[in-house]
């Protein structure tokens, strides 16, 4: 194919070069020297041929002090200290040449010929001139200079190729730095990104994920199996959402239910129990689960049904529901992260060690434990970490060793202990993504752009 001219991009229309230089400019005082003469010339001119009292001179001339000393050192005037009536000043020469004024005039017209650096320094010191930076643009015609602006082609189309019109077109230069169009894709919500990181940590530590796919739970697994008494305030409608349809659950492991009932009402396994009238009606009530520990209870019961006990490490990360007053940091639903370890002879030291290990993987190393109370753990500890931003200790989780009153009715061997800890997913997510109102993270007010724009979660380890 013969080509008359190559496909060209337009060459430069104008070229612009920026230069900056320093220029001397007169100060207001320098301008007044140009208009009225230098201070020393004014002093000289003020003195009449028979001289005058120094005091009179000093009070009648502006800037007399500097003018006087400059005129003295130039040898233009002299002083008679012992004159009658006080010190008198006289002209010492017939006429003077006001070179300061002349130099400043030249500087004003940007002509520095014959002005020495010493003079410039002197004028600068006397604050008659200052140096200013001047930016200039030198604009010249470029090789492609034109007075007609032609619209540049952005695309070389099949049509142009077919009809040959491309030969006469000028094409826009290809911008290799331009960002491409974002390919359409789904976006993970920040909570899901942080959840992925937590899941990764648990998997690295050898934990297996528990099935958490039941938001609806019955009170039995959410509370009773956890040795939480039926009068406990958390079981009140103020804290728990009850389901109206179906209101009750019916399918329970019979023997286990009996053992739970007995442990609550009469005690057993070395415990006195709560000594109250345990009612199945209360345990049957369907609710939205208030914690993922309900799932842990189901899993531990299942584990206890194995012929031979095997140690396990379980985790879960999923949604729970509480009938809370809503505010900037509380919603009626949130996510819990829970870790559970069951093995022979685990101690509080094991719990603390594993919690240290877990949080170390999150980049958190300063931890403190505070004794706490949970109906299902003894001992129980709240976990605090030092927040560098807030410069204080903040609560980041809850933990404990599950009580024998919970584990033994399930059928777990007596020498098996189960340690566990839990935390919310929202709190670390809000800290990580700098969100201070939970309603900006979940719910109808969420700005979807926030979901699109937020980067993937990388914990600072
Ligand atoms: N279930 C507790 C809560 O809801 C957390 C927790 C889990 C405490 C495991 C101890 C052991 O806050």
| The pair of three-digit structure tokens given for residue 412, joined into one six-digit string | 């777990």
Q: Is 322 in the pocket of ligand 1 (CB under 6 A)?
A: no
Q: Is the pLDDT of residue 44 over 90?
A: yes
CA of 335 to the centre of ligand 1 (A): 12
Q: Is 292 in the pocket of ligand 1 (CB under 6 A)?
A: no
pLDDT tens digits along 349-359: 999 999 999 98
pLDDT tens digits along 308-344: 999 999 999 999 999 988 888 888 999 999 999 999 9
Read off the pTM.
0.65
Binned at pLDDT 50, 70 and 90, residue 104 comes out as very high
Q: Is 39 in the pocket of ligand 1 (CB under 6 A)?
A: no
| The pair of three-digit structure tokens given for residue 99, joined into one six-digit string | 């070179």
pLDDT tens digits along 359-380: 888 878 889 999 999 999 999 9
Average pLDDT over residues 388-398: 85
Domains and CATH numbers, the chain: 23-132 (1.10.10.2330), 191-453 (3.30.930.10)
Burial class (CB in 10 A: 0-12, 13-18, 19+), 426: buried
Q: Is the pLDDT of residue 71 over 70?
A: yes
Strand partners, 381: 371, 399
Strand partners, 367: 385
Name the closest-CA residue to atom 6, ligand 1.
422
Instruction: Determine the residue of 287, 291, 380 to mutate for testing ligand 1's pocket, defined as the one with the most ligand atoms within 8 A of the Cβ atom.
Output: 291
Q: Is 212 in the pocket of ligand 1 (CB under 6 A)?
A: no
**With b meaning 16 or more CB within 10 Å and e meaning fewer, what string describes 436-454?**
eebeebbeeeeeeeebeeb
Binned at pLDDT 50, 70 and 90, residue 6 comes out as very low
Q: Is the pLDDT of residue 238 over 70?
A: yes
Name the closest-CA residue to atom 8, ligand 1.
399
């Amino acid at each position: 194919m013969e080509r008359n001219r190559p496909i060209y991009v337009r060459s430069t229309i104008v070229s612009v070069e920026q230069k900056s230089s320093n220029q001397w400019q007169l100060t207001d005082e320098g301008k007044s020297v140009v208009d009225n003469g230098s201070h020393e010339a004014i002093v000289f001119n003020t003195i009449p041929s028979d001289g005058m009292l120094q005091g009179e001179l000093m009070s009648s001339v502006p800037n007399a002090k500097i003018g006087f000393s400059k005129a003295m050192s130039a040898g233009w005037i002299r002083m008679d200290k012992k004159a009658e009536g006080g010190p008198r000043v006289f002209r010492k020469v017939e006429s003077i040449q006001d070179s300061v004024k002349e130099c400043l005039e030249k500087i004003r017209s940007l002509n520095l010929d014959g002005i020495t650096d010493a003079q410039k320094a002197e004028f600068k010191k006397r604050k008659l001139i200052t140096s200013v930076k001047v930016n200039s643009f030198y604009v010249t015609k470029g090789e492609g200079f034109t007075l007609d602006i032609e619209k540049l082609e952005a695309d070389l189309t099949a049509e142009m190729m077919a009809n040959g019109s491309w030969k006469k077109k000028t094409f826009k230069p290809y911008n290799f730095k331009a960002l491409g169009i974002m390919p359409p894709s789904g976006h993970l919500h920040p909570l899901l990104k942080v959840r992925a990181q937590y899941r990764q940590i648990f998997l690295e530590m050898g934990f297996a994920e528990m099935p958490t796919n039941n938001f609806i739970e019955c009170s039995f697994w959410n509370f009773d199996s956890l040795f939480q008494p039926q009068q406990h305030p958390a079981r009140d409608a103020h804290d728990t959402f009850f389901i109206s349809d179906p209101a009750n659950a019916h399918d329970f492991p019979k023997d286990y239910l009996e053992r739970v009932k007995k442990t609550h009402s009469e005690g057993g396994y070395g415990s006195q129990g709560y000594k109250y009238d345990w009612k199945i009606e209360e345990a049957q009530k369907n609710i939205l689960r208030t914690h993922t520990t309900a799932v842990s209870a189901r899993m531990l019961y299942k584990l206890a049904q194995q012929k031979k006990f095997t140690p396990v490490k379980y985790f879960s990360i999923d949604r729970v529901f509480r009938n809370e007053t809503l505010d900037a940091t509380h919603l009626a639903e949130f996510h819990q992260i829970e870790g559970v370890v069951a093995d022979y002879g685990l101690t509080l030291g094991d719990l603390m060690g594993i919690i240290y290990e877990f949080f170390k993987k999150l980049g958190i190393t300063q931890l403190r434990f505070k004794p706490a109370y949970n109906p299902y753990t003894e001992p129980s500890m709240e976990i605090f970490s030092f927040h560098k931003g807030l410069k204080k200790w903040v609560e980041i989780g809850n933990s404990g060793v599950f009580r024998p009153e919970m584990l033994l009715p399930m059928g777990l061997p007596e020498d098996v202990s189960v340690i566990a800890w839990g935390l919310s997913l929202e709190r670390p997510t809000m800290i990580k993504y700098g969100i201070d109102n939970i309603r900006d993270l979940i719910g109808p007010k969420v700005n979807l752009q926030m979901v699109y724009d937020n980067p993937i979660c990388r914990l600072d380890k």
